[in-house]
Chains A and B, each alone.
Chain A
Amino acid sequence: MSPLALVTAGLVLVSVLVLALAVAIAVVRAVRVRRAARARAVAEPLRPLLLEVAVGEGPEAEDAAAALAALDAPGWRSVEPAVLAVLGKVRGDGQRLLVELLAARGVVAGARRDLTARSAVRRATAAELLGAAGYAPAVAELGALLRDGDPEVRLVAARALGRAGAPGAVGSDVEEAPRAAATALLASLAGDRPAAPPDVVARSLLLVGTPAAPALLDALAAPEPLVRLTAAEVLGRLGTTTAAAALEDLVLRDPVDAVRVRSAAALGRLGVPSATSALRAATTPATASAVRRAAVRSLGEVGDPSSLRCLWGLLDDADGGVADAAAAALLALGAPGVRLLAQVSSQGASAPAAAVARAHEVVTCAVAAEVMPPAGLAEVEAVLADVLARATRGSVAEVAA
């Protein structure tokens, strides 16, 4: 074959390829558009029925659910994506009716079967569906899925457990589900590497809510730092005040700084005044910087006046982060804290320069941005008036002398 013939053949091949690809694009688009139009045409009349089921009120909802359950296969296929799309967004009777509808259509059973499918995407999709359905009877299977070989499947299972174990879940095992879900979720964090991302586990534990508290309290004594850390975080966010003593203990004595940080933050969220002394103790210079910062922030959140002196002493701390946090905490303490900041700010040369600058910055920022509450503003004005009066007295005395 001559070079010219080779080139010509190549050119023909390339042209055919371009043409084939262009036709493929057109066909893909045409098929998609047609399918979408057909699905819309079938699903559109059924949309009011779905809406009725999702609202879940009265016999109309029951009738609508029965009508959807009785659909023929093509009708159901066109409406199923819409059902799945609203599944995780409704609660109460609407959720119950949707799950019953899915159970009647065999979707729930299919999803439970798919939890052991070979394809990881199918297992994860099934877990996602059962989670979105808030299907309590699947908690044990979802818990087992936390030991799946695929990290994505474990992640989805952890997310699904939060919904299936939540108090609003549907199904026969509702009583047992939250506790089982919480135990499985916490167990997933044990071991060398967590089975699922800790923030996903924490979010699911938050969804499970108060029923998870006993398991979380036990977890504060777990040997794995990640378990203690997550339990502390969730207990703080759940507002479980009975955890305060155990959290104080962790702030003071846990060998892992990250656990101490989260425990300190949790105490701040709980806002229990009795935690003040433990938090104050955690601000000493011998403690790790991150722990000190968290403890200082939490002192501001707890808002106990007994922390005023401690925070004042930290305004010129060598660790800028701790000092900034102390200034912000004093501001968060309200009127007494603002008064102290305003006083330090107006002391000039008689106070450490760093403390004066920091106090001045935080007060003026809050005033300028108009985020200072009226009580705080009144304190600032009072201090300024006092400073002015003293200055005036001083000038008068000078003139008199």
Chain B
Amino acid sequence: MTGADVAGPLTALAGPLALLWPDPSSWGLFGHTVRGTVVVLVQLLAWPVLLYVLAINSSYLVLIGLAGADMGRYLRRARIRGVEDASASPLTQAVSVVMPAFDEEASVVGSVSAMLALRHPRHEVVVVDDGSRDATFALLREAFDLVEVPRRLTDEVPVRGAVRSVHVPRGGRSPLVVVRKDNGGRADAVNAGINAARHELVCITDADSVLDPDALLTVSRPFADDPLRVIATGGAVRAVNGSELVGGRVVGVRMPRGWTARFQVVEYLRAFCVGRSGWSRLQSLVLISGAFGMYRRDVLVEVGGLDATCIGEDFELTLRLHRYMREAGRDHRVVFVPEPASWTEVPATTAVLARQRRRWQRGLAETLWRHRRMVGNPRYGRIGLLALPYYVLFELVAPVIELVGVVLTPLAVGLGVVPWEAALLLMALCYGYAVVVTVAALLVEELSFHRSQRWRDLGRGLAAAVLENCGHRQLTALWRVQGLWSLLRGQRQVWGAMDRQGLAASGAASSAASSAPSQVRLPATAELAGPGRRRAGAEVLR
């Protein structure tokens, strides 16, 4: 669940409060006058929207309850997880971390250093420079003393952009491979990385993500525990803006200063840390975030890697994996690991956020359309019968209904169809319900991982849970509808640019540069929009 759409639909109810029951005798007014049209619309939409609102909110609460149970289960097993053993075992499955990078000069060196320093007995880092126009590669070459080698990559997974060269550190000092290729988009870069990966597990992440030190060990654990069935695992993704980094690691979780980022912090908690746990509990996880997912390499090769023509390639891949395994009659599992996490920088400006949300919604719609055969199909088990119908009903359609509510309510009030006091009450009720859902998610987080420690930040989180309903949700619904509209009109896919300030670079580089780790605080929202730090399509999270 994105959570941006919990409340909106209820606003449509503000109009029909006095006339909840449809009155066919008045339907002749439709189209005659604006008021008549609004009256008819309100009558027609009232009950369906009411039921929709009840269903969507109840479903979110159920998911949060399931997530709470799942996290409780996970925490009770903290002492028996055996991460220590895995970190020392020569038999622990080796992992290739694939990091696509496009114009990431601000953060790439720090990110790669931090990835190489993760706890794992056998892991390599494969950076794919997807035709960067800035100094991404030059910085990597200097920092890791790279030399070009005439290594051919396999062509097990098709790649569109030609591979230009392969580089490794001189003297084999660190398990790093840098592949330079022509620009082909994030998915294409990941596919090249899969070809270059030599280990049996592939972890796909972003060049600007910061992983917790045990992240690789923990997220690879389900593969060892259930080697025959687990084909993919997803880790939690949290917003890092404002947090304190030391040596490329998040040591102090803070709330960012800007409200745009704060709203996303609570959204991420609700969607990634709680929502996905709920789906995993139902064994129906259909989305592994592109910012932190791990896959069996052989299965990735079998399905042909990521689909470079799809804008929501992470969702598409997870769905395709489910479909492929089901159609082949192979028992499989996709597991969510709620802790530790991958930390990613979220857009700090509404312009960037708008582009991101349009893209997400479009990717969601595209992917659901591609795999429409699975929706409601018992052949695909819970995925076909539960998860996908849910995604269609509550993720795809929700922003449209929300927007209808947002537009219809003031119209109904303005034209005197509904008294403004009643409309206000109804709006307060539905957004209040939305706040309940968010605060319940915050409670689950507090009871489980409680990564944020400061009282001040708790207050800010609660405030964000309330204030996100005053504009942010409505705007998000608008952007998502715009995303759907662009798909319907057949507009070209456009990857949004993302301003970066190099959070991982500062943190990780600080440890690389000196033995005494320096503390780095991320700048506030206003400082984030540095020009010239653009990247294409790295943050496909939902």
Contact of A7 with B432 in the complex, beta carbons under 8 Å = no
Q: Is B426 interfacial (CB 8 A cutoff)?
A: yes
Contact of A7 with B422 in the complex, beta carbons under 8 Å = yes
Contact of B443 with A18 in the complex, beta carbons under 8 Å = no
Contact of A28 with B436 in the complex, beta carbons under 8 Å = no
Q: Which of A4, A128, A237, A364 contacts B425 (CB 8 A)?
A: A4
Q: Which of B18, B152, B154, B429 contacts A10 (CB 8 A)?
A: B429
Q: Is B82 interfacial (CB 8 A cutoff)?
A: yes
Q: Is A351 interfacial (CB 8 A cutoff)?
A: no
Contact of B439 with A25 in the complex, beta carbons under 8 Å = yes
Contact of B432 with A369 in the complex, beta carbons under 8 Å = no
Q: Is B76 interfacial (CB 8 A cutoff)?
A: yes
Interface-facing stretch out of A53-61, A193-201, A249-257: A193-201
Contact of A21 with B432 in the complex, beta carbons under 8 Å = no
Q: Mark A46-75, 1 if CB is under 8 A from B, else 0.
A: 000000000000000000000000000000
Q: Which of B89, B425, B458 contacts A203 (CB 8 A)?
A: B89
B422 to chain A, nearest CB (A): 6
Contact of A370 with B225 in the complex, beta carbons under 8 Å = no
Contact of A361 with B150 in the complex, beta carbons under 8 Å = yes
**Complex-state Cα separation, A202 to B150, whole angstroms:** 37
Contact of A7 with B90 in the complex, beta carbons under 8 Å = no
Interface-facing stretch out of B167-175, B256-264, B385-393: B167-175
Q: Is A371 interfacial (CB 8 A cutoff)?
A: yes
**Complex-state Cα separation, A121 to B73, whole angstroms:** 9
**Complex-state Cα separation, A39 to B148, whole angstroms:** 55
Please name all residues of chain A whose beta carbon is closer than 8 Å to the beta carbon of B443 when the two chains form the complex: 21, 24-25, 28
Contact of B422 with A4 in the complex, beta carbons under 8 Å = yes
Assess A159 versus B425: contact at CB under 8 Å? Given A121-B76, A237-B90, A365-B150. Answer: no
Q: Is A26 interfacial (CB 8 A cutoff)?
A: yes
**Complex-state Cα separation, A320 to B18, whole angstroms:** 75
Within 8 A of A (CB), among B221-262: 224-227
Q: Which of B151, B169, B439 contacts A21 (CB 8 A)?
A: B439
Q: Which of B76, B90, B152, B462 contacts A22 (CB 8 A)?
A: B462
Q: Is B84 interfacial (CB 8 A cutoff)?
A: yes
Q: Mark B90-125, 1 if CB is under 8 A from A, else 0.
A: 111100000000000000000000000000000000
**Complex-state Cα separation, A29 to B18, whole angstroms:** 44
Within 8 A of B (CB), among A349-401: 360-361, 364-365, 368-371
Q: Is B433 interfacial (CB 8 A cutoff)?
A: yes
**Complex-state Cα separation, A127 to B79, whole angstroms:** 11
**Complex-state Cα separation, A155 to B435, whole angstroms:** 41
Q: Which of B17, B149, B442 contacts A365 (CB 8 A)?
A: B149
Q: Which of B93, B168, B428 contacts A11 (CB 8 A)?
A: B428
Q: Which of A7, A84, A199 contacts B224 (CB 8 A)?
A: A199
A94 to chain B, nearest CB (A): 17
B22 to chain A, nearest CB (A): 15
Q: Is the interface of A mostly helix, strand, loop or mixed?
A: helix
Assess A371 versus B171: contact at CB under 8 Å? Given A21-B443, A360-B150. Answer: yes
Assess A369 versus B147: contact at CB under 8 Å? Given A14-B436, A197-B224. Answer: yes
Contact of A22 with B147 in the complex, beta carbons under 8 Å = no
Contact of B82 with A7 in the complex, beta carbons under 8 Å = no
Please name all residues of chain B whose beta carbon is closer than 8 Å to the beta carbon of A125 when the two chains form the complex: 79-80
Q: Is B85 interfacial (CB 8 A cutoff)?
A: yes
Within 8 A of B (CB), among A27-51: 28-29, 32
Q: Which of B152, B168, B432 contacts A18 (CB 8 A)?
A: B432
Contact of B91 with A11 in the complex, beta carbons under 8 Å = no
Assess A3 versus B18: contact at CB under 8 Å? Given A21-B439, A199-B227, A369-B171. Answer: yes
Q: Is A88 interfacial (CB 8 A cutoff)?
A: yes
Q: Is A17 interfacial (CB 8 A cutoff)?
A: yes
Contact of B150 with A368 in the complex, beta carbons under 8 Å = yes
Q: Is B77 interfacial (CB 8 A cutoff)?
A: yes
**Complex-state Cα separation, A4 to B425, whole angstroms:** 8
Q: Is A189 interfacial (CB 8 A cutoff)?
A: no
Q: Mark A1-19, 1 if CB is under 8 A from B, else 0.
A: 0011001101100110110
Q: Is A114 interfacial (CB 8 A cutoff)?
A: no
**Complex-state Cα separation, A229 to B226, whole angstroms:** 18
Assess A21 versus B436: contact at CB under 8 Å? Given A7-B426, A11-B425, A28-B443. Answer: yes
Please name all residues of chain B whose beta carbon is closer than 8 Å to the beta carbon of A338 when the two chains form the complex: none
Please name all residues of chain B whose beta carbon is closer than 8 Å to the beta carbon of A10 when the two chains form the complex: 429
Q: Which of B17, B80, B84 contacts A156 (CB 8 A)?
A: B80
B69 to chain A, nearest CB (A): 14
Contact of A3 with B17 in the complex, beta carbons under 8 Å = yes
B77 to chain A, nearest CB (A): 6
Q: Is B51 interfacial (CB 8 A cutoff)?
A: no
Q: Is B440 interfacial (CB 8 A cutoff)?
A: yes
A160 to chain B, nearest CB (A): 9
Please name all residues of chain A whose beta carbon is closer than 8 Å to the beta carbon of B154 when the two chains form the complex: 320
B139 to chain A, nearest CB (A): 20
Q: Which of B152, B170, B436, B442 contacts A25 (CB 8 A)?
A: B442
Q: Is B407 interfacial (CB 8 A cutoff)?
A: no
**Complex-state Cα separation, A360 to B149, whole angstroms:** 11
Q: Is A148 interfacial (CB 8 A cutoff)?
A: no
Q: Is B282 interfacial (CB 8 A cutoff)?
A: no
Contact of A7 with B170 in the complex, beta carbons under 8 Å = no
Contact of B224 with A18 in the complex, beta carbons under 8 Å = no
Please name all residues of chain A whose beta carbon is closer than 8 Å to the beta carbon of B172 when the two chains form the complex: 369-371
**Complex-state Cα separation, A275 to B84, whole angstroms:** 36
Q: Mark B427-457, 1 if CB is under 8 A from A, else 0.
A: 0110011011001101100110010000100
Identify the A interface with B (CB < 8 A). 3-4, 7-8, 10-11, 14-15, 17-18, 21-22, 24-26, 28-29, 32, 84, 88, 121, 124-125, 127-128, 152, 155-156, 159, 197-200, 202-203, 206, 233, 237, 320, 360-361, 364-365, 368-371
Complex A-B: 24 CB contacts under 8 Å: A7-B425, A7-B429, A14-B433, A21-B440, A21-B442, A22-B439, A25-B443, A25-B446, A28-B443, A28-B447, A29-B450, A121-B80, A125-B80, A159-B82, A159-B85, A197-B224, A202-B91, A237-B90, A365-B149, A369-B168, A369-B169, A370-B147, A370-B172, A371-B171
